[in-house]
Amino acid sequence: MITPPQAKRALALSDEALMLECDEQFFIASGPGGQHRNKTETGVRLTHRPTGLTVTATERRSQLQNRGAALERLRGVLTKLSFVAEKRIATKPSRGSKRRRLEGKKITSEKKQNRRGGSDW
């Protein structure tokens, strides 16, 4: 499990330092792009060792552009993981809001009672 402090620490690093913490793999990316894409290893897979996150980029024909895209994705995932939700505090409704809510319920109840009033046939 990745903790938010780990993710924040990794986000604070420069691109070069973050790349030093990653294992980089290159592979042949399938799909459209012609012979250049089908015969060269342009796909990039980055695995961040401290957190275990893995991201891939295969949409470009250039290995350099895919490396940049994978780094952007890694930073995006780390940003999501670094978010800590604020603790919610339970609050009591005020006396005025209780009164307004009950008045609304009473009016709705009266409308419904009037709808099903007996028919005088």
In this prediction the pTM is 0.67
Query: Which listed CATH number (3.30.930.10, 3.30.160.20, 3.30.365.10, 3.40.640.10) goes with 4-82?
Result: 3.30.160.20
Reading the chain (121 residues) residue by residue, the pLDDT tens digits are 778 888 889 889 999 999 999 999 999 887 776 777 778 888 999 999 988 999 999 988 889 999 999 999 999 999 998 888 899 999 999 999 999 999 999 999 999 999 987 655 5
- Report helix, strand or coil for 27: strand
Residue ranges covered by each domain of the chain: 4-82
pLDDT at position 97 is 96
